[in-house]
Amino acid sequence: MVSDGIEEILTALDPEQREIAEALRGPVSVLAGAGTGKTRAITHRIAYGVRSGAYDPARVLAVTFTRKAAGELQGRLRALGAEGVRAQTFHGAALAQLSHFWPEQVGGAAPQILSGKVAAISQVVESLGKHTSGEALRDIASEIEWRKTSMLSIDGYESVVDERPIPQGFTAEQVIDVQRGYAALLEQRRQIDFEDVLVLLAGMLETEPRVAYQVREQYRFFTVDEFQDVSPLQHALLKLWLGNRDDVCVVGDASQTIYSFAGASSSYLLRFGKEFPNAREIRLERNYRSTEPIVRVANKLMRDRPGALTLRASRPDLANNVPLENSSEPVAGDVVFPTFEWFASEHDEAIAVSGSVAAAIAAGTPASEIAVLYRTNAQSAQFEEALRQRGISVRVHGAQRFFDRADVRKAVMLVRGEAKVNDSRPLFQIVSDVLRSSGWNSKPPESPAQLESWEALNALLSLVDEMPPGAGMREFSEELLARQRAQHEPTLEAVTLSAIHAAKGLEWSLVHVAGMSEGVLPIAHATDEAGISEERRLCYVAFTRARDVLRLSGVAGTTRSGRTPSRFITEAGIVG
């Protein structure tokens, strides 16, 4: 008999989500479209398994792809009463295991992890008598990552190098020479890179039965989010973690596979039923995020594509606002259709987008609920400048991380110091006094330079509202520390600028997708069907970040480099 408290975990779910939560044993494949509540479903599944006694929380491993996502997953599980469950990235889990077993299996401490490949590759390139651009060095770094995640030796890579993109200024033979030199340099320094962490752990699990036994004793139940993005190396590691068991739940959406260039493949998600013939497949297609017009253009964009799900707009607040199929006008309840605008230059586009953002803020949309998305990071500067000129605060997603800011680090240190003092005042008052000592006050400054720091400290203060009733400074300090370790950032009251890749998993009320031009999105180097398909999926990810309003724009460019609107505008049936 399930207790009332545990039953509440299930009653909060829709029928398909509940089916997932109750499928606690054996292989489970969840095909989850954008905005369908997949994280809600898998966290409730884990919590239900823990609280019903089906899972020992210490033997559960939830794996995702970013530290931020892992931190959020851990936070949700704590809130659902599933303390003790480990949520980590593939690399985080692998590094912990490798560091634990290395001393006894190899001897001494594990090798130092290289902080970044580019400097080491540059040294190798110079030793070969070449000089090249930073972009070419990054391209070689990407090739090294692709090779390792594809589980190819350098000799194996040599057999397929003619099918790979060759960095500008290099021949295929030179790329191979650089890779050999890079491997030799790391061995000489006794260093490994992030891909090596997975390679070395996989090798240890394959060759050391005692290590494999201990890992499999530690972890019995697995959940893997974003399974469409696993590489051959990550898939192989998961199989080694499982051994001959099949208690694994994978979750993903083939339409959101946007890391093929890094070795990711949706084939493992789509073939999961063949790999585990007794697998249970459950689909999540009720989109709770976006309005019906946004859902419709997303469906049109991906229609008949491999693995594509058909989303159904299911927002409770808009249940009665179903627009006419061919209408392009706003409908009841302020539901608006996606629009497309065409500009003569990047400057004109940035001015228009900033004006639209300013109008939305003036009409009551919080800045934190607005995003401008683009294909490449180089596109951000125009929008950042145009928005700042209007006095609008901007957060460039993927730039300096929140908890790495000097003002934030200082504030967290002061909070942790204050937590050691016995102070009976309300939590909000104590924290606000601590932040005042760092320069914060209740009134935002007028200076744009000072405003950014004020907003960062104000975001820390806003976390007090998320603490449970009765929490004190010690609990708040521990929450900050947990967030800092997981890079689980608070919400900043600023407009987000982000490359589409970095925006995956996020959502906003108003989304501008800029640069919807041929040669930009899809990007110029996507020339074959596989490349165009990847760009289409990237566009789908961009569209489905929007909850209420989706606005698209593109640029004609100069006469010499004139562009036409992106083919994805027509495919999605968007009216200009």
Query: What residues form the annotated binding site for ATP?
Result: 32-39
CA distance 298 to 542: 9
Taking CA atoms, 301 is separated from 266, 522, 541, in Å, by 18, 13, 11
Peptide bond into 330 cis (omega under 30): no
Q: Annotated binding site: which residue ranges?
A: 32-39
**486 with 70: CB under 8 angstroms?**
yes
Neighbouring CB atoms inside 10 A of 513's CB total 28
Which residues have a Cβ under 8 Å from the Cβ of 225 and sit 6 or more positions away? Answer: 38, 39, 42, 62, 63, 64, 65, 69, 73, 251, 252
Check if the beta carbon of residue 451 is closer than 8 Å to that of residue 445. yes
261, 146 in Cβ contact below 8 A?
A: yes
> How far from chain centre, in Å, is Cα 511?
17
Query: 3-state SS string over 478-533?
Result: HHHHHHHHHCCCCCCCCEEEEEHHHHCCCCEEEEEECCCECEECCECCCCCHHHHH
**From CA 549, how far away is CA 316, in angstroms rounded?**
17
Residues 236-241: contacts with CB within 8 Å, 24+ apart?
Answer: 236/151, 236/202, 237/90, 237/94, 237/198, 237/201, 237/202, 237/205, 238/63, 240/202, 240/205, 240/206, 240/212, 241/61, 241/205, 241/215, 241/216
| 46 and 60 Cβ atoms separated by less than 8 Å | yes
* Residue among 39, 77, 26, 89 nearest 251 (CA): 39
DSSP string of 64-103, one letter each residue: ESSHHHHHHHHHHHHHTT-TT-EEEEHHHHHHHHHHHHHH
**Cα(128)–Cα(171) distance, integer angstroms:** 13
